[in-house]
Amino acid sequence: MPMKVWIVIPFVLSLAAAAMPCSPERSGTLAASEKAVRSLGNEPVTVAVRLPESVAGDASRRLRVVVEGLELVHPGAVYEVYLNLPEGRKPDPEGPYFLGHLALYGQPVGGEPDGRRSFDLTDKLAALRESGDWTGEVELTFVRGNPEQAPARAAPAEFIRFSHISVVERQR
């Protein structure tokens, strides 16, 4: 006679769990900058995050940088995003430091900013390592890519807002 037992079916999630569910995306986060309100307007903005040494020194990892908490404030701006652009170097979207573009399209929607824009770092970090310029710090510089020439109206001071940048790992 088998023992009488209860079978456990799914667990009820905690009613007011303080612990946040661990989403698959977040589980791969290796480093993140401080959260703050960061505004992109007409001047360049730079944000950096230092990777743990064990990550920075491991060339086999495939890393991706994520601009988190994106929010559209005013439409119309296109930003060029650069990785570790040396001081004094002219931003050039045809140059080796260019990662890609950031542009939002839509309307300010309110609520919790949930937009993200991500870029693969694999090739760029390999190039930095090869040239000896890799410091273990991921530094993004945002430069407006479509500044208005002789605008009829003053440009808005702020187009896009974000909270922080993070670096995640992807499988090779």
Partner 1 sequence: MIHENPRRIEYWLAALACFVLLTACPPSGDDGTGTPPPPDGTPPPPGGTPPPASAVNVRQEIHSLTPDQIDAYRQGVALMMQRADTDPTSWIYQANIHGYPSSSSICAVTPGPPQEAWETCQHGQFFFLAWHRMYLYYFESILRSAVREATGNPQAEFALPYWDYEDAAFHALPEPFRVPADSSNSLYVSRRAANCNNGATCVSAAQASATTALGLVPYCNCPPGQSCPGGTPEAPGCVQNLFPDETFGGQFTPQPVHLTNTFGELESQPHNVVHGAVGGNFGWMSYVECAARDPIFWLHHANVDRLWQVWLNEGGDRANPLGVDSWKQEPFVFFDENGQKVEMTACEVLNMATQLDYEYAGVPVQNVTLCDDAAPQGVAPPPPPPPAPTTLAATEPGAVELGADATTVAVNVPEQSLVAETAGRLRVVIEEVELVHPGAVYEVYLNLPAGTEPDPESDYYVGHLAVFTGVHEGQDAVTGQRSFDVTDKVEALRASGDWTGRVELTFVRGNPEEATEGLAAMPETFLRFSHISVVRR
**Interacting residues with partner 1 between 141 and 160 (CB under 8 A):** 145-146, 148-153, 155-156
Task: In angstroms, give the least distance from the CB of 84 to partner 1.
Answer: 18
Task: Tell me the three state secondary structure of residue 125.
Answer: helix
Q: Is 164 in the site for partner 1 (CB under 8 A)?
A: no
The C-alpha angle 128, 83, 170, rounded to 5 degrees, equals: 80
Q: What mask, x for binding partner 1 by CB under 8 A, covers residues 74 to 113?
A: xxxxx-x------------xx---x-xx-xxxxx-x---x
Among 45, 55, 73, 127, binds partner 1 (CB under 8 A): 55
Cβ nearer to partner 1, comparing 131 with 149: 149
AA letter at 116: R
d(CA 46, CA 106): 25
Structure tokens that stand for 150 in this block: 């002789």
Q: What mask, x for binding partner 1 by CB under 8 A, covers residues 2 to 41?
A: x-xxxxxxxxx-xxxxxxxxxxxxxxxxxx----------
**In contact, 44 and 106? CB cutoff 8 Å:** no
Select from 73, 155, 79, 146 the least CA-distant residue to 107.
73
Q: Is 138 in the site for partner 1 (CB under 8 A)?
A: no
**In contact, 125 and 63? CB cutoff 8 Å:** yes
Task: In angstroms, give the least distance from the CB of 69 to partner 1.
Answer: 10
Q: What is the CA radius of gyration of the chain?
A: 21
Cβ nearer to partner 1, comparing 47 with 70: 70
Task: In angstroms, give the least distance from the CB of 139 to partner 1.
Answer: 19
